[in-house]
Structure 1
């Protein structure tokens, strides 16, 4: 049985108010620690766990149909081929399960490197996905990574 997204959001809010923000009723990490748990996953590709220092363009959680804000897209695009920067985005699947995606730029590479963590997607493959996209962040948001 699927839980409507609105009820799930209410449940998460109640857990946060009660001081139990560590996990949602479905066993997912709570909003306070989902990025940390994902970042420390031992299932991530080895390339994800490099020692490169990166500035941050933020850690954002999107609601269904919400897009990455334009100021965040600009932060990433201004760093392409110039600086090591990372943006972390949690976005829900249709069922409300979080997919965590890390967008990275590098001073040595044109384009955006992506790592997506599907471990919390109960109906998906529960795998990580890695790609190098030779696009700007603005194009990546519009067209996806087809490289």
Structure 2
């Protein structure tokens, strides 16, 4: 057991050295921006957890599309990166939203663009196909 612990410590130290040389870091701990935490509450179209290669069911998109003309709604979709890190996207529609609003939480993505993004997609006709998105 003692030898195993030393092997693990050596491996962890080597990994740390490699990450330092590569410019990589641990997953971000960036907190959600105020635009997300202070967003208006909307009715839910659910929360979807996707596996590798899976896609959102059409009924979830239909829920958002129907809600866009009324009280609005939010759909939360979490899917893995190629490496398996979770990315969560919050799709939002409503009377005070021009088209589709997206919040993307990539703080757990160890190999890509970590952090949060916020986009508005005014050209969107259906939530399943965001169009004309720009960073807010």
TM-score (norm 1): 0.64
Aligned ranges 1:1-147 → 2 under 5 Å:
43-50=31-38, 52-134=40-122, 135=124, 136-140=126-130, 146-147=133-134
Counterpart for residue 21 of structure 1: none
Counterpart for residue 14 of structure 2: none
Q: Do the aligned residues in 2 keep the contact of 1:81 with 1:110 (CA within 8 Å)?
A: no
Q: Do the aligned residues in 2 keep the contact of 1:59 with 1:89 (CA within 8 Å)?
A: yes
CA RMSD of aligned residues (A): 2.3
Q: In terms of Rg, which structure is larger? A: 2
Deviation of the 1:51 alpha carbon: 5.2
Q: Do the aligned residues in 2 keep the contact of 1:55 with 1:85 (CA within 8 Å)?
A: yes
Q: Do the aligned residues in 2 keep the contact of 1:85 with 1:105 (CA within 8 Å)?
A: yes
Deviation of the 1:43 alpha carbon: 1.8
More moved, 48-57 vs 113-122:
48-57
Runs of 5+ in structure 1 lacking a partner? 1-26, 29-40
* Count of residue pairs brought into register by the alignment: 106
TM-score (norm 2): 0.69
